[in-house]
């Protein structure tokens, strides 16, 4: 008799001992009656011939752990970004989006299948060729593919610049902005390159941007006809975005995820901001928003991407916006926690905005001065100045008559104050009125003759 019958008999004995006289079941293995004799008590179990145990299978190699990240935004694929990049992009001269069709502009063309790129210099009809790869610029934000690495593979005989075997690392912003696609490229931080010098001009510095576009409707990746702008406007919302263009009382915003980062800059840990594409169903699309109460506001329409923090009302109109200036390496400066507490009143700021807001041109010993709108509680203006190529000085500014007065200024750990005024030739002048910096003195004047 098989072993299972011995087990059944044992179970039956236990049931009888407990006083069970009704039918008992062994779980579907058969029925037994009360006082039924077990004739197999003395029967020996069948002998089982031992068999050789099968060999243990080879253990499968453990998969490599995924990089840890707190990022919850949109995880793009390399194929998706390659599809966006593929084709010819036209260089914008400066930040002006309105270009004469008869003019010739430099182009940057990507071939996604072969991972090659060609920069074409229009005025000389010369070219430089690259192999390229996509990587993540921000180590804690995987799946963004926002670093473009170019390596020169050759040039035409007359091309005037060459980077040779140096790998050029560039930060990349991508957006389908209304009727056209936008490509924004900036130095990712490892050197100033001849390619950038040719495209941006000798006066630009690391951290500046290089603007491209393509298509006006029919050639865009998503196209305004396939995207419901109205339903995408966020109401009663607080979010971060890349602001691309302002026109009249409207602006185009590409929602992104806010990511705080601490990175080592020249031996000092700096708290900065990175961004990731938003998990909103349209991560590369911009959406048009209106400024509340600023229907008559005039904007230049210039292309000036910057990270902003936005609040909207129940109609989806912007009630507050704060800009985070570009810092370095594709990161943005941390200015203050949270969104501005109050909307800037156009009646108070409009005239001074028209005079002062924007990026002012380049002197001999310093690079640029940028004035942006800020929370009225901090004065209404935020000023970023690059002195001597050493780094950025920052400060908040108040309106004083026809001037802006900088207070809370900081440059490499030293404080300063100053006055900003525009002379009758349209030159912006910064006069230092108080400082403990070793790099300039009270009374020093710096001039910025151009406004982009």
Give a yes or no: residue 168 inside a domain.
yes
Decide: 189 and 205 in contact? Cβ < 8 Å: no
Residue 224 has pLDDT above 50, yes or no: no
129 and 11, same structural domain?
no
Name the residue among 372, 354, 262 with its Cα closest to residue 306.
372
130 and 26, same structural domain?
no
Tens-digit pLDDT profile for residues 414-436: 888 899 999 888 888 899 998 88
206 and 93, same structural domain?
yes
The CATH number covering residue 390 comes to 2.40.128
Once rounded to an integer, what is the mean pLDDT over residues 6-10?
41
Decide: 316 and 235 in contact? Cβ < 8 Å: yes
Give a yes or no: residue 190 inside a domain.
yes
Give a yes or no: residue 267 inside a domain.
no
33 and 100, same structural domain?
no
358 and 448, same structural domain?
yes
- Containing structural domain, residue 128: 78-214
Tens-digit pLDDT profile for residues 291-328: 887 665 555 566 667 888 899 999 999 988 888 877 76
Per-chain mean pLDDT for the chain: 74
Give a yes or no: residue 253 inside a domain.
no
207 and 82, same structural domain?
yes
Decide: 175 and 182 in contact? Cβ < 8 Å: yes
Tokens of 365: 């010993």
Alpha-carbon distances, residue 416 vs 6, 419, 434, 443 (angstroms): 96, 11, 5, 12
Total number of domains in the chain = 3
Q: Which pLDDT does position 33 carry in this prediction?
A: 37
Q: Which pLDDT does position 412 carry in this prediction?
A: 76
Tens-digit pLDDT profile for residues 75-107: 889 999 999 899 999 887 655 555 566 677 889
Give the three-class secondary structure for 172: strand
């Amino acid at each position: 008799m098989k072993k299972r019958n011995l087990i059944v008999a044992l179970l039956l004995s236990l049931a009888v001992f407990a006083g069970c006289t009704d039918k008992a079941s062994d779980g579907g293995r058969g029925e037994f009656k009360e006082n039924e004799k077990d004739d197999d008590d003395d029967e020996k179990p069948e002998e089982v011939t031992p068999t050789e145990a099968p060999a243990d299978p080879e253990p499968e190699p453990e998969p490599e752990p995924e990089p840890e990240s707190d990022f919850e935004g949109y995880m793009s694929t390399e194929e998706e970004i390659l599809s966006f990049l593929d084709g010819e992009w036209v260089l914008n001269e400066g930040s002006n989006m309105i270009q004469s069709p008869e003019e010739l502009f430099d182009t940057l063309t990507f071939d996604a299948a072969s991972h090659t790129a060609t920069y074409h210099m229009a005025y000389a009809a010369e070219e430089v060729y690259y192999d390229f790869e996509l990587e993540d610029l921000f180590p804690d934000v995987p799946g963004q593919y926002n670093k473009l690495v170019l390596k020169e593979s050759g040039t035409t005989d007359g091309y005037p610049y060459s980077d040779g075997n140096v790998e050029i690392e560039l930060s990349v912003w991508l957006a389908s902005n209304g009727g056209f696609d936008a490509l924004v490229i900036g130095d990712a931080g490892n050197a100033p390159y001849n390619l950038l010098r040719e495209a941006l001009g000798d006066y630009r510095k690391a951290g500046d941007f290089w603007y491209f576009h393509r298509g006006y409707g029919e050639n865009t990746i998503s196209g305004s006809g396939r995207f419901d702008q109205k339903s995408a406007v966020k109401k009663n919302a607080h979010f971060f975005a890349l602001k691309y263009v302002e026109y009249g009382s409207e602006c185009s915003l590409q929602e992104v995820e806010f990511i705080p980062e601490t990175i080592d800059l020249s031996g000092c840990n700096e708290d900065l901001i990175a961004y990731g594409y938003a998990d909103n169903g349209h991560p590369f699309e911009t959406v048009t928003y209106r400024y509340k109460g600023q229907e008559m506001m005039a904007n230049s329409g210039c292309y000036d991407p910057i990270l902003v923090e936005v609040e909207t009302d129940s109609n989806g109109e912007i009630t507050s916006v704060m800009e985070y200036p570009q810092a370095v390496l594709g990161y943005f400066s941390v200015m203050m926690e949270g969104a501005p507490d109050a909307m800037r009143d156009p009646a108070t700021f409009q005239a001074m905005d028209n005079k002062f807001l924007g990026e002012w041109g380049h002197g001999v010993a310093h690079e640029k001065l940028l004035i942006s709108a800020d929370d009225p509680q901090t004065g209404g203006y935020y000023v970023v100045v690059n002195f001597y190529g050493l780094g950025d000085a920052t400060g908040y500014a108040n309106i004083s008559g026809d001037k802006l007065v900088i207070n809370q200024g900081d440059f490499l750990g030293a404080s300063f104050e100053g006055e900003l005024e525009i002379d009758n030739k349209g030159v912006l002048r910064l006069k230092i009125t108080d400082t403990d910096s070793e790099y300039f003195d009270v009374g020093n004047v710096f001039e910025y003759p151009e406004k982009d």
